[in-house]
């Protein structure tokens, strides 16, 4: 949101007093990456910035306090869940999850998930899962039917880190029919984390999605479902498919016992590209560990 630039601690602290909100917002955003020795001073200034009259500044301050994991900001961030600015509310919910003070943040986030506006509900779902995915599961399962697709998606993603209880997996499986792509994918990915093969067909359909194909291929590796073989082979045959995606697809094929998958990985491990070599060797190491 804000242009990045090098800025010293003293300059950022001075800029928080600027008459220009854009300058104050940039300063608040910069303070989140201050040196460890400066964290206390930066956090104190950011807590004051949560009272700024511009939502953009409150938004940036909350995100920086999340980076600093400043527990002293928790009461003010809880108040900010009802801020008049949607992005400031969202940032407060995110920060409460990152700071990790479940004793104080849990109940306000639970209320926010149940009663807040969409931008708070969707971040509250993620933050509750970040605080304690197992404890959050009974709250996240009802959120899978939320009216907002982003809330449904974050609830599904959170349940991917919860214990693989049948009731959770069945609830996620219902979301595989969601009309929106994001919750549908997150539900499939969460099911793959739980090694539930009901996700196979949906994940295979995302192998042609530029944003989600890599994650889909990795999830298919975990499932090792023979039904994914045709889709994985199509990836390897696509001339313009990204090379890293082909490595992931080859790994998934190798997990199925297909010789072509291992051969492709061995070739990729000799690539001139460092990222391709690294990923291919990582996949080969995983296969070797499984074989032993």
* pLDDT, position 171: 98
Across the 292 residues of the chain, what is the mean pLDDT of every consecutive 10-residue run?
Answer: 63 95 96 94 97 97 97 97 94 97 97 94 97 97 97 98 97 97 98 98 96 97 97 96 97 96 97 97 95 80
Look at the chain and report how many structural domains it folds into. Answer: 2
What does the alpha-carbon distance between residue 60 and residue 186 come to, in Å, rounded to a whole number? 27
* pLDDT, position 2: 41
What does the alpha-carbon distance between residue 217 and residue 201 come to, in Å, rounded to a whole number? 12
152 assigned to some structural domain: no
Q: Which domain holds residue 252?
A: 212-292
State the CB neighbour count (10 A cutoff) for residue 119: 19
- Choose the final residue of a domain: 36, 67, 99: 99
CA 269 from centroid of its chain's CA atoms:
29
108 assigned to some structural domain: no
CA 244 from centroid of its chain's CA atoms:
20
State the CB neighbour count (10 A cutoff) for residue 256: 18
* pLDDT, position 4: 44
What does the alpha-carbon distance between residue 175 and residue 292 come to, in Å, rounded to a whole number? 37
52 assigned to some structural domain: yes
Q: Which residues, 6+ apart, have CB-to-CB distance to 94 below 8 Å?
A: 62, 63, 66, 123, 126, 127
* pLDDT, position 55: 96
What does the alpha-carbon distance between residue 197 and residue 211 come to, in Å, rounded to a whole number? 22
- Choose the final residue of a domain: 81, 99, 117: 99
216 assigned to some structural domain: yes
Of 106, 42, 103, 104, the closest CA to residue 70 belongs to 42
CATH of residue 52's domain is 1.25.10.10
178 assigned to some structural domain: no
What does each C-alpha distance from 185 to 152, 171, 203 come to in angstroms? 11, 14, 7
105 assigned to some structural domain: no
Q: Which residues, 6+ apart, have CB-to-CB distance to 253 below 8 Å?
A: 229, 232, 233, 236, 260, 261, 264
* pLDDT, position 6: 63
For 115-166, the DSSP string reads HS-HHHHHHHHHHHHHHHHHHHHHHHHHHTT-SSHHHHHHHHHHHTTS---H
pTM (2 d.p.): 0.90
* pLDDT, position 1: 40
191 assigned to some structural domain: no
* pLDDT, position 273: 97
134 assigned to some structural domain: no
The backbone region for 220, taken as left when phi is positive above 0, alpha when psi lies in -120 to 50, beta otherwise, is alpha
* pLDDT, position 133: 97
């Amino acid at each position: 949101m804000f242009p990045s630039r090098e800025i010293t601690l003293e300059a950022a602290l001075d800029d928080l007093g600027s008459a220009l909100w854009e300058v104050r917002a940039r300063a608040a955003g910069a303070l989140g990456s201050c040196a460890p020795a400066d964290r206390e001073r930066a956090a104190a200034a950011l807590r004051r910035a949560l009272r700024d009259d511009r939502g953009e500044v409150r938004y940036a301050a909350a995100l920086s306090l999340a980076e600093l994991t400043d527990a002293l900001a928790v009461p003010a961030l809880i108040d900010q869940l009802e801020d008049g600015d949607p992005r400031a509310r969202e940032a407060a919910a995110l920060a409460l999850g990152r700071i990790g003070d479940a004793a104080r943040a849990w109940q306000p986030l639970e209320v926010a998930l149940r009663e807040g506006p969409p931008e708070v509900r969707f971040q509250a779902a993620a933050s509750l899962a970040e605080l304690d995915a197992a404890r959050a599961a009974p709250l996240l399962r009802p959120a899978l039917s939320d009216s907002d697709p982003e809330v449904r998606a974050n609830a599904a993603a959170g349940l991917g880190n919860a214990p693989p209880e049948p009731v959770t997996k069945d609830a996620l499986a219902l979301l595989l029919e969601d009309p929106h792509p994001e919750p549908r994918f997150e539900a499939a990915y969460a099911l793959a984390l739980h090694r539930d093969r009901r996700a196979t067909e949906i994940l295979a359909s995302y192998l042609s999605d530029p944003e989600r194909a890599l994650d889909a291929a990795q999830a298919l590796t975990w499932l090792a479902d023979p039904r994914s073989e045709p889709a994985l082979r199509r990836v390897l045959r696509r001339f313009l498919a990204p090379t890293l995606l082909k490595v992931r697809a080859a790994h998934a094929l190798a997990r199925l016992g297909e010789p072509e998958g291992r051969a492709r990985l061995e070739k990729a491990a000799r690539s001139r590209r460092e990222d391709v070599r690294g990923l291919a060797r990582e996949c080969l190491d995983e296969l070797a560990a499984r074989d032993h």
